[in-house]
Amino acid sequence: MTNRDKSVYLERQRVRYRELKKRDLKTDLIEEVSVFLGITRAHAIRCLNGRSRVPGKRPGPKRRYGADELPHLKRLYHLLGQPCSKRYKIALQEWLPYYERYFGVLPEGIRVRLLRMSPATVDRLLKGMRVKRGLSGTKPPRNQWYKAHVPIRAKDWNIKSPGHLQGDTVAHCGTTLVGQFANTLTLTDIDSGWTENRAVERKEASRVRDALDFIEKSLPFSIHSIKFDSGSEFMNHGVITFLQSKRNREKGIEVYRSRPYRKNDNCYVEQKNFTHVRDLFGYERVESGVLVELMNEIYEEYWNPLQNHFLPQMKLIQKERVGSKIKKLHDHPKTPYQRLLESADLNDVEKARLKRIHEALDPIQLKIGLETKLRLFFDLNRKANQGGARAA
């Protein structure tokens, strides 16, 4: 018997049940329905009284959110770069005014419901809208001289002020490490999460040094220390002497390295390798110098401002082992920009400059410009790769 048949049967029995006056006749009908449908007497009573669920009808309370909110929810989700629901909810509060500027003012009811949505509701409504791993090009230098000059610093959980960074490179090599290909240098501030990226054609010491110099001038705070892995692009005389020298700094930058084969020592930048590089450019091979320049334009003009000023991040503040599981507690999602404004280590001049930069930015404009440049990048890279394949 189908659910439809059961529904028709119950409707007929409900009419009979309401018409019966004698208690014993009602008892007999309850028994009949219970046996026929294979349910308990209590369930049969609820069915005959109309209080039980009609087959095919959704249980629970009525839906609060539906077709009116979903198009805006999905469009904002893609504009924000598909963040987790907790970060999405926080970012929504700042992005909505910009969104309405470009896509029209939302009806008050829809706007209120969008802002009221819990992270769990966002996850449920966006369910089904959620990549392989790349190759590592990290190779230690043949000469081990750096071990005496660059100390190991294992953990960074106790750092509470901006200016202490972790650095790493991501190889845009495709499926092979043979030949020359582009790399992205990523520097992440441990305390605020502020992240800057810079693409280089090759991991030569001079190119990595120039990229570090460019990023240092772009940061809204001074660098006190940097920690790398033991890759040869960092552990060389050119890069280390450049960082440790005073140059235009009050004092040199302290350089540290992580323990070999311990990626968690550099966990802050390792996670940014995916969210800020792989999630943006994927795993395609990039060889052209023109494309490297375009990557840097995307990083500098669109991607880094978007991530640092308008996309909240969560920080792990506590871990506790409960039996075989580890319970993690994260703080309230905030953008790196907000964390820097709340920091007591930045002076008023630095904060005022940061505010002026923030007020001149528009997240929707950044996102539209980003998508335009990315389409151009992938079109050019696809043609370059096809040309290389034909030549081979």
In a domain, 136, yes or no: no
> What does the block give as tokens for 278?
């792989």
> What does the block give as tokens for 179?
């030949």
- Please name the residues in contact with 201: beta carbons below 8 A apart, sequence gap of 6 or more: 180, 182, 207, 289, 292
193 to each of 126, 317, 342, 384, how far by Cα in Å? 26, 14, 13, 35
Tell me: do 225 and 312 sit in the same domain: yes
**Long-range contacts from 105-113, C-beta under 8 angstroms, 24+ separation:** 106/72, 107/68, 109/68, 110/68, 110/69, 110/72, 113/64, 113/65, 113/68, 113/69
Q: What is the predicted pLDDT for the residue at 362?
A: 96
Percent with pLDDT over 70 in the chain: 92
Which is nearest to 169 in space by CA: 266, 244, 297? Answer: 266
In a domain, 64, yes or no: no
Per DSSP bridges, beta strands 195-200 and 225-228 are unpaired
Tell me: do 81 and 190 sit in the same domain: no
Is the pLDDT assigned to residue 132 strictly greater than 50? no
In a domain, 139, yes or no: no
Tell me: do 254 and 151 sit in the same domain: yes
In a domain, 308, yes or no: yes
Q: What is the predicted pLDDT for the residue at 175?
A: 83
Quote the DSSP letter at residue 29: H
**Would you place residue 53 in the very low, low, confident or very high pLDDT band (cuts 50, 70, 90)?**
low
In a domain, 116, yes or no: yes
Residue 207 three-state SS = helix
Residue 199 parent element (H or E)? strand 195-200
Q: How far apart are CA 344 and CA 347, in angstroms?
A: 7
Is the pLDDT assigned to residue 354 strictly greater than 90? yes
Average pLDDT over all residues of the chain: 87
CATH code (residue 355): 3.30.420.10
Q: What is the predicted pLDDT for the residue at 167?
A: 95
- Please name the residues in contact with 378: beta carbons below 8 A apart, sequence gap of 6 or more: 284
* pLDDT, tens only, 7-30: 888 888 888 888 888 888 888 888
Tell me: do 198 and 344 sit in the same domain: yes
- Could you tell me the pTM of the whole model? 0.74
Residue 336 CA to chain centroid, in angstroms? 13
* pLDDT, tens only, 247-256: 778 889 999 9
Q: How many structural domains compose the chain? A: 3
Q: What is the mean pLDDT of residues 189-211?
A: 94
Q: What is the predicted pLDDT for the residue at 147?
A: 75
Q: What is the mean pLDDT of residues 33-44?
A: 87
Residue 287 three-state SS = coil
Is the pLDDT assigned to residue 101 strictly greater than 60? yes
Q: What is the mean pLDDT of residues 91-98?
A: 92
Tell me: do 250 and 215 sit in the same domain: yes
> Whole domain around residue 12: which residue ranges?
3-49
Comparing 147-161, 169-183, 224-238, 317-331, which segment has the lowest mean pLDDT? 147-161
Q: What is the predicted pLDDT for the residue at 345?
A: 93
* pLDDT, tens only, 115-126: 999 999 999 888
Q: What is the mean pLDDT of residues 53-61?
A: 57
Residue 187 three-state SS = strand
Residue 106 CA to chain centroid, in angstroms? 26
Q: How far apart are CA 137 and CA 178, in angstroms?
A: 10
Percent with pLDDT over 90 in the chain: 52
Please tell me the number of Cα atoms within 13 Å of 159 on its side-chain side. 22
